[in-house]
Structure 1
Amino acid sequence: MAKKTPLQQVKDLHGGKEKLVDKLAGMVELDGESKDDFKERLLAAPNSKLLRLHSIATEIRERFGDKAKLVDSLLGLQNKSKDVDYRDKLLTLSPTQLLSEHHAAERRAAKAAR
């Protein structure tokens, strides 16, 4: 069976692009942008990017709860939990960058544990 296109995945999993955008608007931090502007911008984005954003936001919510807890977990893996300036810097990064850093830190910690 052939792999489904991003449009087919959006329709099957979320019932359409508008519904996926509504879900994302409630899951993602807006950083000073109005919700309507954010939705308008997301409606113009490709379906593949929307699916990726949804998977990242879902993983962060399920594993950590929010961005601050993700940063705290990352600091714990890096043994820098008392470094306040570094924590503030990490909070300025996007959730995607933070999640990528966390995955890399997990791999390094697992490799060091062997």
Structure 2
Amino acid sequence: MFYSYLSRHVVQIFHQDPADMYEIQGQTAEITCSHSIDSYNVILWYKQTENNQLQLLGHVYSTNPSVEPGVTVTIAGNANKDKTCTLTIKDLFMNSSAVYFCAARYHSATYH
């Protein structure tokens, strides 16, 4: 059985849905994230296992997704204000059980 606990409102300007879910092994889980910060254009997805290790799964910069090497998830969507980004985990297995969460930040290609 797959279990994920998510904080629905990490901060008032973030929204992650669903707050928690239970899925059967072999099924697919989908988690969405959005924010309302004008200048933020990157959504990052993390997995925290029961031994509290954090793993960066990947991110979306504006509308360009990137998954970390060796990670078997799909990330899609738009990281800009009031848009939705989706993390999809297919073929759930026991090691899929974890806390998944998103974070947002600003990214600029300009160096200061």
Calculate the TM-score normalised by the size of structure 2.
0.25
| Larger strand percent | 2
Larger Rg: 1
